Amino acid sequence: MKLITNCKHCQKEIRVKSMSNDRPELAKEMGNEFTLNCEHCLRKDRYSANEVKAKESKSIKIFSLLVFLIGTGFLACFFRDFVFISESPKFLFYVCATLTVPAVFYGLLTKQDRDKVRDFNRYWS
Ligand SMILES: [Zn+2]
């Protein structure tokens, strides 16, 4: 999750550097009003915690995708003999396991971030 607000002058996104999980926490950490510098038009202005919103973080999505790809590759190697060579009756089971486990991990990781974003945007300070 990342915290952002829109610049009052150019409307572009400004990143708020805070690890807060909700608006009351953000207000406690940064004060009710705080000054932010826009990286795009370089103008300073005062913003309040209620003007900040949460967005899903790209790095978590990329990380989750990597976990998914590496996990799939790892399991495919692990089950290689069963999945690609043998005509084991458990063939389908191994194919499913190879895809399901990383997919579940991927889902859990991204869901956690989505939930945090939803929680942040729900509470107003
Ligand atoms: Zn700006």
**Ligand 1 centroid vs 58 CA: distance in angstroms?**
22
**Ligand 1 centroid vs 21 CA: distance in angstroms?**
25
> In this structure, are strands 33-37 and 13-16 parallel, antiparallel, or unpaired?
unpaired
**Ligand 1 centroid vs 39 CA: distance in angstroms?**
7
Q: Which band of pLDDT confidence, cut at 50, 70 and 90, is reported for residue 91? A: confident
**Ligand 1 centroid vs 43 CA: distance in angstroms?**
6
Query: Where is pLDDT greater, at 36 or 101?
Result: 36
Query: Where is pLDDT greater, at 45 or 79?
Result: 45
* HSE-CB for 120 with a 13 A CA cutoff: 26
Q: Which band of pLDDT confidence, cut at 50, 70 and 90, is reported for residue 96? A: confident
**Sequence letter at residue 43:** R
Q: Is 87 exposed, middle or buried (0-12, 13-18, 19+ CB in 10 A)?
A: exposed
Give the percent of the chain with pLDDT over 70.
Answer: 92
**Ligand 1 centroid vs 13 CA: distance in angstroms?**
8
**Ligand 1 centroid vs 14 CA: distance in angstroms?**
8
**Ligand 1 centroid vs 15 CA: distance in angstroms?**
11
**Ligand 1 centroid vs 51 CA: distance in angstroms?**
15
**CB atoms closer than 10 angstroms to residue 36:** 20
